[in-house]
C-alpha cells in the first residue's frame, strides 16, 4: 500500500486517539475554568483549586510509567478504552462529590485513567504509520491536548456558569464514553507493546541519552508554567509598570491567543521535524522560546505586545512536542511506550515544578521577574538537549 494511502486510511484512528488526549486535557484542566462556581458551591477557598490541579498532576506523573510497567504488553486499544473508563469513573465521583476529600479522590481516579490513556495513544499513533510519518501522526494525536486548551477549557468555563460545574463534570464523563466508542470503532485490535519491569525503567532513566532527553521536557514545561500559571498577575504588573490598567478581558483573550498559537505550533513542529530533523527542531523551538521570555523582561505594557508574546510562547512551546516525542520513539525502540510515558510524566512534573517556582518568585522578587525564571529553565533545557546528544563513551 502506498505510504500516503496508508496514512490517509489511518486518519480516523489517529483522530480517535487525539480524542483520548482531548479527554485527558479537559479532565486535567477544566477545573481551572469552573473554579469559581465550584468553590462557591462547596464553600471552599480559591486556593483549594490549586490542590485539585496538583493532585491530578502528581498522580498522572506517577501513574503514566507505572501503567506501562504493569500493562505495557496488553492490547493497546483495550488499554486506551480502560483508561477512558477510569476517567469516566473519576468524573462521576467528582460530579457526585459533597466534600473536598471526595473531589480529590475523584480527581485521583481520573488521573490514574489518564495516565494509562496519554502515553498509550501516543505509542499507538506512532506505530500506525510509516516511520517517516511518525512526527505528523504524533502531532495529530497530541493535537487533542492542544484542542483541549483552545476549545475544551473555555467551553467548560462558560458551561460552568450556564449549567454548573457538576453538569460540566457529567459532560466530561460522557466525552470519555464517546471517545472510547470511537477508539473501539477505528483503532485496530492486536497492537501490543512490551511490558517493562522496574529494572528496565531504571536503566532507561539512567541511560544518559534517554535520561537527559527526558530532562528536556521537564525543564521546558517548568519554564512555561513559571509564568503561565501566574499569567494574570504578570500581565497586570506589566500593564501597571507602563502606566496602564489591564482590562478584565485581557487575560481570557491572552489565553485564547495562546491556545490558537498552540494549534499553529503543533502543526509547525511536524513540518520542521520533517525538514530539519528532531534535534535541530528542538534547538530551534527552545531558542525561540528563550528569546520570547527574554523579550518579556522588556516588553511595554500595551495589549498588542503582550498578545504577540503570548503567540510566540505558544507557537514555540507546542512546536516542541511532536519532535520531542519522535526523538524518544527513535531512541527507545521497542520501549517506546515506556519512554512516552516518562515523557508525559516529565511534562506534568514540569507543570507542578514550574507553578511552585512561579509562586516563590512572585512572592519574593515580584511578578515582573517571572519570565527571568522561565528563561533560566529554558536554558537548562537547552543544555540538557546538548548533553543528550553527546556520543556514549567507549
For 167-207, the pLDDT digits (tens) are 999 999 999 999 999 999 999 988 876 666 677 777 777 78
The dihedral region occupied by 29, where left means phi > 0, alpha psi between -120 and 50, and beta the remainder, is alpha
Same domain, 236 and 172: no
Residue 98 placed within a domain: yes
CA atoms within 13 A on the CB side of 354: 31
For 321-352, the pLDDT digits (tens) are 989 988 998 888 777 777 888 898 899 889 88
Q: What is the pTM of this model?
A: 0.77
pLDDT value at 289 more than 60: yes
Identify the residue with better confidence: 4 or 150. Answer: 150
Q: Which residues contact 222 (CB under 8 A, 6 or more apart)?
A: 350, 351, 353, 354, 357, 377
Residue % of the chain over a pLDDT of 90: 46
Q: What range defines the domain where residue 205 resides?
A: 198-389
Q: Which three cell numbers stand for residue 251?
A: 487575560
Q: Report the domain count for the chain.
A: 2
Q: What is the pLDDT of residue 196?
A: 64
Residue 85 placed within a domain: yes
Highest mean pLDDT among 3-7, 164-168, 239-243: 164-168
Q: What is the mean pLDDT of the chain?
A: 87
Same domain, 65 and 173: yes
Same domain, 226 and 97: no
Residue 211 placed within a domain: yes
Q: Which residues contact 36 (CB under 8 A, 6 or more apart)?
A: 160
CA-to-CA distance for 187 and 191, rounded, in angstroms? 9
Same domain, 131 and 226: no
Q: What is the pLDDT of residue 1?
A: 47
The gap between the terminal CA atoms of the chain, to the nearest Å, is: 42
For 375-387, the pLDDT digits (tens) are 999 999 999 999 9
Same domain, 95 and 217: no
Question: The domain that contains 379 carries what CATH number?
Answer: 1.20.1250.20
pLDDT value at 111 more than 50: yes
Amino acid at each position: 500500500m502506498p505510504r500516503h494511502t496508508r496514512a490517509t486510511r489511518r486518519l480516523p484512528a489517529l483522530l480517535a486517539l487525539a480524542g483520548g488526549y482531548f479527554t485527558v486535557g479537559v479532565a486535567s484542566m477544566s477545573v481551572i475554568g469552573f473554579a469559581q462556581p465550584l468553590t462557591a458551591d462547596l464553600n471552599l477557598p480559591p486556593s483549594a483549586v490549586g490542590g485539585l490541579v496538583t493532585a491530578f498532576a502528581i498522580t498522572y506523573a506517577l501513574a503514566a510509567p507505572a501503567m506501562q510497567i504493569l500493562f505495557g504488553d496488553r492490547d493497546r486499544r483495550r488499554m486506551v478504552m480502560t483508561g477512558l473508563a477510569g476517567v469516566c469513573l473519576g468524573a462521576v465521583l467528582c460530579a457526585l462529590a459533597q466534600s473536598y476529600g471526595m473531589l480529590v479522590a475523584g480527581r485521583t481516579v481520573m488521573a490514574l485513567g489518564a495516565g494509562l490513556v496519554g502515553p498509550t495513544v501516543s505509542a499507538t499513533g506512532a506505530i500506525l504509520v510509516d516511520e517517516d510519518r511518525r512526527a505528523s501522526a504524533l502531532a495529530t494525536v497530541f493535537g487533542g491536548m492542544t484542542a483541549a486548551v483552545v476549545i475544551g477549557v473555555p467551553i467548560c468555563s462558560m458551561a460552568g456558569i450556564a449549567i454548573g460545574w457538576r453538569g460540566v463534570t457529567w459532560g466530561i464523563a460522557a466525552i470519555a464514553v464517546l471517545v472510547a466508542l470511537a477508539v473501539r470503532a477505528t483503532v485496530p485490535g492486536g497492537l501490543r507493546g512490551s511490558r517493562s519491569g522496574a529494572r528496565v525503567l531504571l536503566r532507561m532513566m539512567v541511560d544518559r541519552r534517554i535520561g537527559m532527553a527526558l530532562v528536556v521536557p521537564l525543564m521546558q514545561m517548568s519554564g512555561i508554567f513559571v509564568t503561565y500559571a501566574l499569567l494574570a498577575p504578570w500581565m497586570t504588573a506589566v500593564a501597571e509598570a507602563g502606566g496602564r490598567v489591564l482590562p478584565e478581558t485581557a487575560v481570557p483573550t491572552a489565553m485564547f491567543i495562546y491556545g490558537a498559537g498552540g494549534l499553529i505550533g503543533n502543526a509547525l513542529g511536524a513540518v520542521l521535524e520533517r525538514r530539519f530533523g528532531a534535534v535541530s527542531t528542538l534547538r530551534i523551538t527552545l531558542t525561540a522560546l528563550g528569546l520570547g521570555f527574554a523579550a518579556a523582561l522588556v516588553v511595554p505594557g500595551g495589549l498588542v505586545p503582550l498578545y504577540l508574546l503570548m503567540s510566540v510562547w505558544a507557537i514555540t512551546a507546542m512546536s516542541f512536542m511532536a519532535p520531542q516525542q519522535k526523538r524518544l520513539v527513535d531512541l527507545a525502540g521497542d520501549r517506546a511506550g515506556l519512554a512516552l510515558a516518562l515523557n508525559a510524566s516529565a511534562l506534568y512534573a514540569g507543570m507542578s515544578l514550574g507553578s511552585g517556582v512561579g509562586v516563590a518568585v512572585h512572592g519574593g522578587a515580584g511578578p515582573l521577574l517571572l519570565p527571568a525564571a522561565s528563561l533560566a529553565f529554558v536554558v537548562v533545557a537547552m543544555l540538557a538537549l546538548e548533553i543528550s546528544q553527546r556520543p556514549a563513551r567507549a
